[in-house]
């Protein structure tokens, strides 16, 4: 892997030091290792190890500078053939995000702090995976920035065991008269220096020889002046020493009796605690933020309420009074640091996230269409899963089609879209934001209209495949020209899969019934007195409200129901609520009342019902596709539409009935000549096909036709 880390600068600091150490480790593990920053004192250390450093002013927050660096970084990523970018701060992350998107490579971010909820900070949640250094940061990214849990990876900070002398023999407890208390870190209000000074005033009265070392730089000189004034007011001049920035932290820690972290603001982690633990130094810290990930109270150290100077003083005095107890807790923390918080553990987990980023694809498949068309897309989902067995595959469908995929074994998640108006901008933007949060690698647009092309783009996918149809196809970066002649509905989708090198050996649609829906249908059929030995045949007399021309005449269904009843076959009439008047009219005219399921089943229950039918009779409709997908033999009645374009091969026989008339297929939604194509199909002919499918052993091959040529574009 060629990995590029990007940080603002390489001066002093835990993030910067960790970046350098990790860059060197990547090189040792035979990965390409690159770092982009504005430079700093740590560059020499980096380059002496053989890591390539590239200087860019990625620390400047001006919009003009950020725009310039996007182009510069894009050239670097191309020239160095970078596979993945790791951003560790906000300005570099903005630059990396747009550069990565230009050339189609992923970005990973690490959240080293608890960021303000300003819009500028949101970029830290836009990596394909977001590494957090504590549970506190994880909660913050989920609650404040809406980062989904499945995109968050927890990796605690690690300490360099050699630098902090983890393998040295345990040091004897410090004597109370040589008590040195250390507080290490930037001198800022959230670190709790005021609380520590108040506690020190009490400690000095009990232990006159106790000293406090305040180690760290002060980005706010005025705050440092306030602390020095507080020292004078509390008469602590002989007990407190401000030591500034130091490069010999391990040596200083080895002389401490304890380290204190009295933070009053949300601490992201507490790296200094594991450094102290590596040195065998007892610790006392505030019970706040990421500190609780490191210190188990009473086992590895002592936790006190944040801001409570009295509790802090009492526990420091107790440590000094009982050095053996303090040493026992320090030894426990030392063991834990060696096992859990060493830098090698952190490095290997980070490389694991890189591998997951590059190898486990996140794939969006878009099919914003009717139920039947979504069912016909299931072979494509199966093919994608077979090509990418470890991928996270998400389907985007209309709400009405959601039940068709909720039990699909090839899909990890189903997102549904419901349009409330012709130009429902609010819903579109909401869906776009939801997709952007997922950070997809590949988008496969099986719908190919303006909305689906827009959703593909908003998903942020690096690879966006769909048909070049002049319907906002500029949002695609892998457009496919539809040059083939008329092919089946499934094969038409496969042209897009070919663009991605995805094999598709099985073209049969597939549906699974949910156990809850199956149980509901069993109960429904018992209520309607279906005997165990009775044969059940389903009929679907309705059609889409826009396609009344697809309906076989109502009187023909009446004759068919009576003919089936004479052979001791129970009939169940399926359909939506809109089809209920037709179903009731048919039932009233038949001699033997059929079971009416129209308007009384959900889509999931309809799938389960069709699955238990021995044969299903229908026109060109979504239930026809359900039957072919669940393995129920089908008699398909066609008139104004072409079965070559709409019949997919099923998991059981499909018998297509269609009359050759001059005007068919016309694809008219209103027939000017009385639907002669449908009226020429007689009930006896349909009955013959049903019986042939019920009794295939009789070899009545003449009445069973395989579905003709497979389809092309859906109507």
Q: SS3 string of 309-359? A: HHHHHHHHHHHHHCHHHHHHHHHHHHHHHHHHCEHHHHHHHHHHHHHHHHH
Structure confidence at residue 175 (pLDDT): 46
pTM reported for the whole predicted model: 0.73
Residue with the two structure tokens 């009219």: 585
In the structure, what pLDDT confidence band is assigned to residue 176 with cuts at 50, 70 and 90? very low
Q: Which domain holds residue 646?
A: 524-703
Range 223-232 average pLDDT: 93
Is the per-residue pLDDT at 699 higher than 90? no
Structure confidence at residue 703 (pLDDT): 36
Is the per-residue pLDDT at 704 higher than 70? no
Number of residues in the chain: 715
Class of residue 177 by CB neighbours under 10 A (exposed 0-12, middle 13-18, buried 19+) = exposed
Q: Is 292 inside any structural domain?
A: yes
Structure confidence at residue 660 (pLDDT): 84
The whole-angstrom separation of Cα 22 and Cα 6 is 12
Three-class SS of 679-710: HCCCHHHHHHHHHHHHCHHHCCHHHCCCCCCC
Q: Is 513 inside any structural domain?
A: no
Range 248-258 average pLDDT: 89
In the structure, what pLDDT confidence band is assigned to residue 706 with cuts at 50, 70 and 90? very low
89 and 222 both lie in a single domain:
no
Name the least confident of 16-20, 87-91, 196-200, 283-287. Answer: 16-20
C-alpha distance from residue 509 to each of 194, 409, 602 (Å): 69, 13, 20
455 and 367 both lie in a single domain:
yes
First to last CA, the chain: 46
Residue with the two structure tokens 């972290």: 261
The whole-angstrom separation of Cα 578 and Cα 81 is 58
200 and 114 both lie in a single domain:
no
Q: Is 344 inside any structural domain?
A: no
Range 659-666 average pLDDT: 85
Is the per-residue pLDDT at 485 higher than 70? no
Do β-strands 84-87 and 52-55 pair in parallel, antiparallel, or remain unpaired?
A: unpaired
Is the per-residue pLDDT at 491 higher than 70? yes
447 and 537 both lie in a single domain:
no
235 and 326 both lie in a single domain:
yes
Top pLDDT among 346 and 544 is at 346
Range 309-324 average pLDDT: 93
Tens of pLDDT, residues 382-436:
999 999 998 999 999 988 888 888 888 899 999 888 765 555 777 788 888 888 8
Range 591-614 average pLDDT: 92
Range 687-704 average pLDDT: 73
Tally of structural domains, the chain: 4
In the structure, what pLDDT confidence band is assigned to residue 167 with cuts at 50, 70 and 90? low
Is the per-residue pLDDT at 311 higher than 60? yes
CB 166 within 8 A of CB 338: yes
Q: Is 515 inside any structural domain?
A: no
Tens of pLDDT, residues 319-368:
999 999 999 999 999 999 988 888 899 999 999 999 999 988 899 999 98
428 and 373 both lie in a single domain:
yes
530 and 669 both lie in a single domain:
yes
Q: Is 403 inside any structural domain?
A: yes
Structure confidence at residue 469 (pLDDT): 78
Name the least confident of 57-66, 208-217, 541-550. Answer: 541-550
Of 124, 154, 184, the residue that ends a domain is: 154
The whole-angstrom separation of Cα 672 and Cα 666 is 11
Is the per-residue pLDDT at 480 higher than 70? yes
Q: In what order do the strands lie in the sheet with 107-111?
A: 52-55, 32-37, 2-6, 84-87, 107-111, 129-132, 152-154
606 and 475 both lie in a single domain:
no
In the structure, what pLDDT confidence band is assigned to residue 665 with cuts at 50, 70 and 90? confident
The whole-angstrom separation of Cα 201 and Cα 171 is 28
Range 465-489 average pLDDT: 78
Q: Is 52 inside any structural domain?
A: yes
Q: Which residues in 29-68 are b (16+ Cβ under 10 Å) and which e?
A: eeebbbbbbbebebbeebeeeebbbbebbbbeeeeebbee
Q: Which residues in 94-114 are b (16+ Cβ under 10 Å) and which e?
A: bbbbbbbbeeebbbbbbbbbb
265 and 370 both lie in a single domain:
no
For residue 167, give the nearest of 280, 303, 291 by alpha carbon. Answer: 280
Structure tokens, 551: 């309906």
> What are the two backbone dihedrals, phi and then psi, of residue 87, each rounded to the nearest 5 degrees?
-100, 135
Top pLDDT among 544 and 257 is at 257
Structure tokens, 502: 């995805």
Name the least confident of 11-20, 534-543, 657-666. Answer: 11-20
The whole-angstrom separation of Cα 142 and Cα 148 is 6
Q: Is 191 inside any structural domain?
A: yes
Tens of pLDDT, residues 431-456:
888 888 888 999 999 988 888 898 99
Is the per-residue pLDDT at 672 higher than 90? no
CB 710 within 8 A of CB 488: yes
Of 436, 465, 499, the residue that ends a domain is: 499
37 and 122 both lie in a single domain:
yes
Structure confidence at residue 204 (pLDDT): 92
Structure confidence at residue 713 (pLDDT): 27
| Four-residue CA torsion sign, 659, 663, 665, 666 | negative
Percentage of the chain exceeding pLDDT 90: 53
Q: Is 505 inside any structural domain?
A: no
Structure confidence at residue 290 (pLDDT): 87
Is the per-residue pLDDT at 177 higher than 80? no
CATH of the domain at 237: 3.40.50.2000
Is the per-residue pLDDT at 173 higher than 60? no
Q: What is the mean pLDDT of the chain?
A: 87
Q: Which helix (H) or strand (E) holds 120?
A: none
Of 119, 154, 189, the residue that ends a domain is: 154
Structure tokens, 407: 């039990």
Top pLDDT among 15 and 318 is at 318
15 and 95 both lie in a single domain:
yes
In the structure, what pLDDT confidence band is assigned to residue 487 with cuts at 50, 70 and 90? low
Structure confidence at residue 616 (pLDDT): 96
325 and 387 both lie in a single domain:
no
Q: How many CB atoms lie within 10 A of CB 130?
A: 24
Is the per-residue pLDDT at 698 higher than 70? no
Class of residue 324 by CB neighbours under 10 A (exposed 0-12, middle 13-18, buried 19+) = exposed
Highest-scoring range by mean pLDDT, 74-78, 277-281, 626-630: 74-78
User: Within the chain, what is the greatest distance between any pair of CA atoms?
Assistant: 110
């Amino acid at each position: 892997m060629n990995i590029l880390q990007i940080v603002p600068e390489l001066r002093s600091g835990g993030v910067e030091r960790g970046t350098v150490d990790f860059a060197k480790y990547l090189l040792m593990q035979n990965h390409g290792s690159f770092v982009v920053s504005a430079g700093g004192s740590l560059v020499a250390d980096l380059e002496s190890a053989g890591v390539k450093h590239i200087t860019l002013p990625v620390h400047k927050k001006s919009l003009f500078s950020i725009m310039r660096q996007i182009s510069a970084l894009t050239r670097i990523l191309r020239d160095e053939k970078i596979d993945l970018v790791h951003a560790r701060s906000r300005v570099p992350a903005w630059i990396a995000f747009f550069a990565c998107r230009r050339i189609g490579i992923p970005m990973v971010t690490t959240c080293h702090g608890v960021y303000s909820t300003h819009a500028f900070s949101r970029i830290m949640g836009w990596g394909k995976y977001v590494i957090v250094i504590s549970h506190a940061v994880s909660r913050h990214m989920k609650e404040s920035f809406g980062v989904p849990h499945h995109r968050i990876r927890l990796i605690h900070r690690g300490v360099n065991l050699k630098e902090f002398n983890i393998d040295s023999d345990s040091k004897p407890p410090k004597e109370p008269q040589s008590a040195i208390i250390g507080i290490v870190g930037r001198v800022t209000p959230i670190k709790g220096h005021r609380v520590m000074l108040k506690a020190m005033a009490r400690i000095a009265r009990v232990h006159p020889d106790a000293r406090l070392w305040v180690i760290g730089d002060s980005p706010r000189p005025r705050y440092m002046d306030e602390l020095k004034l507080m020292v004078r007011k509390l008469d602590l001049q002989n007990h407190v020493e401000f030591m500034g920035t130091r490069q010999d932290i391990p040596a200083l820690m080895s002389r401490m009796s304890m380290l204190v972290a009295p933070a009053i603001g949300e601490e992201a982690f507490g790296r200094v605690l594991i450094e102290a633990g590596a040195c065998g130094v007892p610790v006392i810290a505030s019970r706040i933020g990421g500190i609780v990930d490191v210190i188990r109270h009473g086992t590895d150290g002592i936790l006190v309420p944040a801001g409570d100077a009295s509790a802090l003083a009492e526990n420091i005095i107790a440590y000094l009074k009982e050095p053996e107890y303090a040493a026992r807790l320090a030894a426990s923390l030392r063991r834990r640091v060696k096992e859990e918080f060493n830098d090698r553990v952190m490095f290997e987990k980070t490389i694991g996230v890189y591998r997951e980023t590059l190898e486990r694809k996140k794939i969006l498949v878009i099919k914003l269409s009717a139920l039947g068309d979504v069912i016909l897309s299931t072979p494509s989902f199966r093919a994608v899963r077979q090509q990418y067995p470890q991928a996270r595959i998400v389907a985007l469908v209309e709400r009405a089609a959601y039940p068709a995929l909720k039990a699909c074994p090839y899909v990890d998640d189903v997102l549904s879209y419901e349009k409330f108006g012709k130009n429902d901008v609010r819903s579109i933007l909401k869906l776009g934001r939801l997709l952007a949060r997922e950070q997809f690698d590949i988008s496969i647009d099986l719908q190919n209209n303006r909305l689906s092309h827009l959703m593909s783009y908003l998903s942020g996918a690096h690879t966006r495949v769909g048909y070049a149809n002049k319907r906002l196809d500029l949002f695609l970066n892998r457009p496919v020209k539809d040059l083939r002649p008329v092919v089946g509905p499934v094969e038409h989708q496969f042209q897009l899969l070919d663009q991605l090198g995805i094999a598709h050996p099985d073209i049969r649609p597939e549906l699974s019934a949910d156990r809850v829906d199956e149980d509901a249908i069993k109960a429904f059929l018992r209520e309607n007195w279906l005997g165990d030995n009775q044969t059940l045949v389903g009929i679907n007399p309705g059609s889409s409200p826009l396609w009344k021309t697809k309906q076989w005449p109502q009187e023909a269904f009446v004759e068919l129901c009576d003919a089936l009843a004479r052979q001791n076959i129970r009939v169940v009439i399926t359909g939506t609520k809109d089809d209920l008047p037709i179903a009731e009219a048919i039932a009233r005219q038949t001699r033997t009342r059929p079971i009416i399921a129209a308007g009384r089943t959900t889509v999931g229950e309809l799938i389960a019902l069709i699955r238990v039918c021995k044969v299903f009779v229908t026109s060109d409709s979504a239930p026809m596709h359900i039957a072919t997908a669940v393995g129920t033999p089908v008699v398909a009645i066609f008139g104004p539409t072409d079965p070559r374009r709409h019949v997919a091969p099923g998991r059981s026989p499909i018998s297509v009935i269609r009359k050759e008339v001059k005007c068919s297929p016309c694809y008219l939604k209103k027939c000017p000549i009385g639907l002669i194509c449908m009226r020429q199909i007689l009930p006896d002919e349909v009955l013959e096909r049903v019986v042939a499918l019920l009794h295939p052993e009789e070899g009545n091959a003449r009445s069973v036709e395989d579905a003709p040529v497979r389809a092309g574009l859906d109507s």
